[in-house]
Amino acid sequence: MEMNKRPRRLRTGAGLRKMVRETRMDKSSLIYPMFIKEGAGIEEEIPTMPGQYRYSIDRMPYALEKLQKAGVGSVMLFGIPEHKDACGSGAFADDGIIQRAFREAKKQFPDLYCIGDVCMCEYTSHGHCGILNGEYVDNDKTLDYLAKIALSQVQAGADMVAPSDMMDGRVGAIRTILDANGYAETPIMSYAVKYASAFYGPFRDAAGSAPAFGDRKSYQMDYHNSREAVKEALLDVEEGADIIMVKPAMSYLDILAKVKDEIHLPVAAYSVSGEYAMIKAAASLGYIDEAAIICETAASAYRAGVDLYLTYFAPEIAEFMDEGRIG
């Protein structure tokens, strides 16, 4: 048969397939999210996220050591405080759970890159991501609090802050307070494109951060929208963001690719708790091959253009990279 173009020619062996691969991934782009809880001796599995744990500060180092051994050098820490109040004061207390966690992590693992999630929902009694005015989250009042939270995390040792609240103008507010306090070199990774998503369900169980009433649709984005993602990303670029995040990942790869086309900053994707939980649940029933699905899902995010990948599967992905299954 006369045929000069045969795409299969480049698929004839594993070595060749790897040589012509379009998407390359490496461990330095992985970020592992972790939950740190008040108390001692705690390492409790999160029921809706099997394989993920809430650690007390004294147990955290064991988990970090394992992570470092796997070759994952970056973490995103979430605090679970004992007490909550209307203005989330635990989020910016000098001796707050997350501040102590950063101090301990940096003391024991100076090379570990520590990122702080800047938000209020784990710390407010009402579970919303800001200060309430009636039942509405007051944007401008919340900005002062977010700025204080970011500063307190950086003062405690966070290498980078990542605001996830979705208030307008928060990147600018955080940049201003960090600069004024001598932290002009501390980067901000903005959860710029964060959708109001049911995929956060297991996280809210893990962190006890579900809103006590209503939902987050007045601040997180409507998932019918795509051009709005570009608008949000560009606004945060203007305000001084260093990295733009899209969240969730799996159902939003069109958004990721579009944002990547429009901006010139590194783009991150957060493969969230619901994505993790679905894979774990289906795998435990024997419906899917867990390792194969983890690899394929991760590669799809990188193929869509992700530069940084936040995922609860970070240690597994690092291992699969070592084994040459992906990468």
Query: CA-CA distances (angstroms) from residue 185 to 14, 83, 112, 159, 225?
Result: 43, 32, 17, 9, 33
92 binds ligand PBG (CB under 6 A): no
117 binds ligand PBG (CB under 6 A): yes
Query: CA-CA distances (angstroms) from residue 234 to 222, 230, 263, 267, 270?
Result: 17, 6, 7, 12, 19
Choosing from 164, 186, 190, 311, the residue that interacts with ligand PBG (CB under 6 A) is 164
Tell me: cis bond preceding 248? Omega within 30 of 0 counts. yes
Rounded least distance, CB 79 to ligand PBG, Å: 11
Q: Where are the alpha helices (DSSP H) in the chain?
A: 14-19, 60-70, 97-108, 139-155, 170-180, 201-207, 227-239, 253-262, 273-284, 290-304, 314-322
Rounded least distance, CB 227 to ligand PBG, Å: 22
Choosing from 93, 119, 171, 299, the residue that interacts with ligand PBG (CB under 6 A) is 119
Q: Are 151 and 239 in contact (CB under 8 A)?
A: no
Find the part of the chain contacting ligand PBG (CB under 6 A) among 15-23, 51-59, 113-121, 314-322.
113-121
Q: Are 309 and 267 in contact (CB under 8 A)?
A: no
Choosing from 60, 91, 129, 256, the residue that interacts with ligand PBG (CB under 6 A) is 129
Rounded least distance, CB 105 to ligand PBG, Å: 18
- Closer to ligand PBG at the Cβ: 99 or 164? 164
309 binds ligand PBG (CB under 6 A): no
203 binds ligand PBG (CB under 6 A): yes
CA distance 86 to 63: 32
Q: Are 87 and 131 in contact (CB under 8 A)?
A: yes
- Closer to ligand PBG at the Cβ: 109 or 203? 203
56 contact partners, CB below 8 Å, separation of at least 6: 36, 37, 38, 39, 40, 41, 42, 43
Active site residues: 194, 247
Torsion of CA 165, 170, 176, 178, to 10 degrees: 10
Choosing from 57, 91, 121, 269, the residue that interacts with ligand PBG (CB under 6 A) is 121
Find the part of the chain contacting ligand PBG (CB under 6 A) among 86-94, 196-204, 225-233, 301-309.
196-204
Residue least distant from ligand PBG (Cβ): 203
- Closer to ligand PBG at the Cβ: 237 or 249? 249
Query: CA-CA distances (angstroms) from residue 244 to 59, 77, 129, 191, 314?
Result: 31, 18, 19, 6, 19
Q: Are 120 and 129 in contact (CB under 8 A)?
A: yes
204 binds ligand PBG (CB under 6 A): yes
**Binding footprint of ligand PBG, residue count (CB under 6 A):** 10
User: DSSP letters of 214-235?
Assistant: S-STTTSBPTT-SHHHHHHHHH
- Beta-bridge partners for 32: 75
Scan residues 143-162 and list those touching ligand PBG (CB under 6 A): none
Find the part of the chain contacting ligand PBG (CB under 6 A) among 1-9, 63-71, 198-206, 297-305.
198-206
Q: In degrees, to the nearest 5, what angle opens at C-alpha 169 toward C-alphas 210 and 101?
A: 50
Choosing from 273, 298, 306, 309, the residue that interacts with ligand PBG (CB under 6 A) is 273
Going by the DSSP 8-state scheme, the letter that residue 124 receives in this structure is B
- Closer to ligand PBG at the Cβ: 141 or 204? 204
Rounded least distance, CB 121 to ligand PBG, Å: 5
- Closer to ligand PBG at the Cβ: 123 or 302? 123
Find the part of the chain contacting ligand PBG (CB under 6 A) among 93-101, 197-205, 260-268, 283-291.
197-205
Q: Which residues bind ligand PBG (CB under 6 A)?
A: 117, 119, 121, 129, 164, 200, 203-204, 272-273
